[in-house]
A = this chain, B = another copy of it.
């Protein structure tokens, strides 16, 4: 079986874990379906000569030691999915990483060549953040951006604790290389947008992340009767949340341009008490503002804060920020982009530079170690949806490119650049 057929066969097997009727997957972090695919993936890695280990937050590693004691080039992504999500998001990158590492190791054996670095495949824990917040949890702990104990103490909406659940699944350990033992990181992912499809390129060379403001907002009202309470007496937290949701879209409509797009959203709205005959006393929601243009993002952020007081008056609620994250446009290393471009040129793959809007584990690794981030096209940009699709030819092209990138990274090509 050639590389492409082998990759597609493994990917078909992987896509059976948590498979949904409409062709997607439903395997949030540390669910039974996620645990089953991790067990399968561990067996796959072990059968192909990798040493498999979990670290203290449940990141899963497959390590190939060609040079005893040498640092690792890590390559990977995540196998967990959104609820009723697509089968490519994350999973594609993990499987491509395993195949790339295996192919590179075979080249070492076949050629007798000794690399500078070892190679390690990583399946980060809970990238999606749909069950346990925040997202990119495993890579955040790994890179010191999130406290280990805080992560282990995180609970889902049913009260299940990350640490307890991972222990129950036997997916906690003290293995894997420390960050100090990592020489570089590479990740390939589906674009989740339609830039590559629209421009007709096979490969996206990710050169930067969009800037973003992310808010976790609490709207406080007062519980009352939906029928009998006089309208003027109501302090309706759900109405306040609805105004925020509409405002987020209005901000995008007002400020987004084709040159400097602005993406906004409200998501994960929870309402207390969510009774059919009770005006809500509290609502909690996530509100995101994202743009590749920091000036546009700043205007969006200003407009949000300018408008909140009028929403508070209209719904007679108070709105507070329970959590906030902000980051500016963050570049990936130019040398990594150049390395990937060279590889794509050698393989004859069309490519373009692109920014990533979504967060990825590579965003956490970037700045800590030299990091290369690659995209392949998403059909119609559909993502976090069971209809998510990347064509087989593009998926295989990406795996080929990742193989070349890993080969060069393990050879030390980025060293000193």
Residues of A bordering B, CB below 8 Å: 82-85, 128-130, 133, 135, 191-194, 210, 212, 222-231, 233-234, 236, 238-239, 241-243, 245-246, 249, 252, 256, 261-271, 273-281, 286, 288, 290, 315, 356-359, 380-386
* A280 cross-chain contacts in B, Cβ below 8 A: 267
The reply to whether A384 and B238 form a contact with Cβ atoms under 8 Å apart is no
18 contacting pairs across A/B (C-beta < 8 A): A128-B277, A129-B275, A129-B277, A130-B273, A130-B275, A194-B233, A225-B383, A226-B288, A226-B384, A227-B265, A227-B357, A227-B358, A229-B384, A239-B245, A242-B266, A267-B280, A278-B384, A281-B385
* A261 cross-chain contacts in B, Cβ below 8 A: 230-231
Give, as a whole number of angstroms, the nearest-CB distance from A379 to chain B: 12
Among B273, B276, B385, point to the contact of A286 (Cβ < 8 A). Answer: B276
Contact flag A277-B273 (CB < 8 Å), given A227-B358, A381-B228: no
* A262 cross-chain contacts in B, Cβ below 8 A: 231
Among B191, B230, B269, point to the contact of A271 (Cβ < 8 A). Answer: B269
Contact flag A193-B230 (CB < 8 Å), given A83-B275, A383-B224: yes
Among B238, B276, B290, point to the contact of A133 (Cβ < 8 A). Answer: B276
Q: How many subunits of this chain does the assembly comprise?
A: 2
Among B222, B228, B241, B279, point to the contact of A267 (Cβ < 8 A). Answer: B279
Q: Please, how many angstroms separate the alpha-carbon atoms of A398 and B84 in the complex?
A: 54
* A83 cross-chain contacts in B, Cβ below 8 A: 273, 275, 278
The reply to whether B238 and A269 form a contact with Cβ atoms under 8 Å apart is yes
Identify which of A82, A265, A274, A288 gathers the most chain B CB atoms within 10 Å of its CB: A265
* Closest residue of B by beta carbon distance from A252: B231
Q: Please, how many angstroms separate the alpha-carbon atoms of A384 and B277 in the complex?
A: 8
Q: Please, how many angstroms separate the alpha-carbon atoms of A95 and B135 in the complex?
A: 51
* A385 cross-chain contacts in B, Cβ below 8 A: 222-224, 281
